[in-house]
Every structure is written in C-alpha cells, then in structure tokens.
Amino acid sequence: MTAHAELQWGRTHIAYSVTRSARKKTLAIRVEPDGSVHIVAPPAVADERIASLVRKKAAWIVERQRRVADVPPKPTPREFVSGETFLYLGRQHRLRVRAGADPGVKLVAGYLEATVPRGVADEARRALVRSLLEDWYRAHAVERLPERLAEWSAKLGVQPKALLIREPQKRWGSCDAAGNIRLNWRIIQAPRKLVDYVVAHELAHLAHDDHGRAFWALLGRVMPDYEERREALRKAGGGMVW
C-alpha cells in the first residue's frame, strides 16, 4: 500500500511516497532517477516518524534531486577515427579524418572533417582529433548559446549575471548564487529543444535554487513540455558524453 505525503523544508517542498511493508524492519529512503522520493517503512511506524526522517534527510534529498535532474550519463567510448558519428544540434555528422597542413575541424558537406598533420602516430592522432573536436564544439557553443540564453531569460523574466561556457563536472549546466549560468559546451550536440531545456532549467534556478514545486511550476509556465524534453535529454545524453 502506497500513500503520498509532503512537507515543507525551508523554501523547498518535498513530496514523497510511503510504502508499508511487513518485511521491512527499518525505514528506507530512496531518490529515484526522476527525482521522486520513496520511503519503505515497517507497518507500525507512525507517519510523524517518517516525516521527521524526511526532514532530517532533507538536505541530502534536495542535493540528490538536484544532481539527478542536471547530470549527464556516463561517457560512451569513442575512437576518433573516420566513420564515427558525432552530433551537432541534433544532427548526426560522420567524422572524416584527413592529413593536411592546417589542423582543425570543419563542417564540410555534412561531414565533420578533422585535419591533422601527416605522420602522427595512431594514438597521438586520436588524441589530437578529440581535442580539435572539443575546440570546434566549444567555439560553436560560444557562438550559439548566448542567443538561447537571451531568449529564455526574456521569457522567464530573469537576468543572469554572465554566461560561462565550461565543462562542469557531471553537469549540463549550473547556476551559482551570484547569478552566473554555466553551460556545458557538450549540450550544443543536442537538438535545439533540448539545448533550450537546459538553458531554461538553469535560468529558472535564478528564481528558485532548488527543484521544488515552485521551480517546476515556473519552468512549466514558459515550457509546458519540459518533462518530455527532460526525458529526451536523458535518452540522448549518452551520445553526447565522450
């Protein structure tokens, strides 16, 4: 039997479900990948004791929810050789590695063409292709993300202090207390709808620093299909981390 409950912790609203199980001797608390909170409890434990456990664990719960909502998946191994595909704004592009004088990456007739000097040994060439690709994506993120940020800042009625293009550890983006928005350059691989989800999500943190009800309500007002986008990002994310 599962019941639903909720409590207020500071400015954060924590909703949780409680399942009673005769097989349980102690209280167990779990935060799912979607951020939902589940308690499994022995039948005799009073609701008030459960609520007090949730309150005691609130900081941990909120931190976990924050992490699961913003976190990219584990990296997919890549070889950085001709024929592999890479995403840019949701489109798949085949990598073509060629030898030439001017090292760099260009988008040529649908191919991501990486030029590397002649005579570079296999392993060094792969490392070079990787770093040239990173430079290319970073440059495109710097070029494209500010306009996305401007559009969603206006829709949300918030004003970020600055946009920093980084590769935050295990985040698509983050928002600090000073109002700086950090976006992971890797997000530029995603379709624009998913880029916008990350941008709007981080901007909404300027108004609400947690993932409480008010946060999702604000995001939902400007982006009614945010849940679909969040789910799509979770699925697409694997190809974007390498």
With 0-12 CB in 10 A as exposed, 13-18 as middle and 19+ as buried, what is 66?
A: middle
Choices 26-34, 68-76, 104-112, 180-188; region in contact with Zn ion by CB under 5 A: 68-76
Written as one letter, the residue type at 200 is A
Q: Are 184 and 168 in contact (CB under 8 A)?
A: yes
| Chain centroid offset of residue 116 CA | 32
Rounded to whole angstroms, what are the CA distances from 87 to 126, 190, 234? 18, 7, 15
Pick out residues in 70-89 that bind Zn ion (CB under 5 A). 70
Decide whether 24 or 155 has the Cβ nearer to Zn ion.
Answer: 155
CB atoms under 10 Å from CB of 209, counted, come to 16
Rounded to whole angstroms, what are the CA distances from 204 to 66, 71, 178, 230, 239? 13, 16, 14, 14, 26
The nearest distance, CB 201 to Zn ion, in angstroms, is: 5
d(CA 137, CA 134): 5
The nearest distance, CB 65 to Zn ion, in angstroms, is: 8
Decide whether 134 or 209 has the Cβ nearer to Zn ion.
Answer: 209
- The residue count for binding Zn ion (CB under 5 A) is 2
Decide whether 67 or 130 has the Cβ nearer to Zn ion.
Answer: 67
Decide whether 57 or 230 has the Cβ nearer to Zn ion.
Answer: 230
The nearest distance, CB 155 to Zn ion, in angstroms, is: 17
Decide whether 95 or 219 has the Cβ nearer to Zn ion.
Answer: 219
Decide whether 70 or 113 has the Cβ nearer to Zn ion.
Answer: 70
Choices 54-62, 67-75, 105-113, 146-154; region in contact with Zn ion by CB under 5 A: 67-75
The nearest distance, CB 29 to Zn ion, in angstroms, is: 21
| Chain centroid offset of residue 156 CA | 19
Choices 26-34, 48-56, 69-77, 149-157; region in contact with Zn ion by CB under 5 A: 69-77
By CB under 5 A, name the binding residues for Zn ion: 69-70
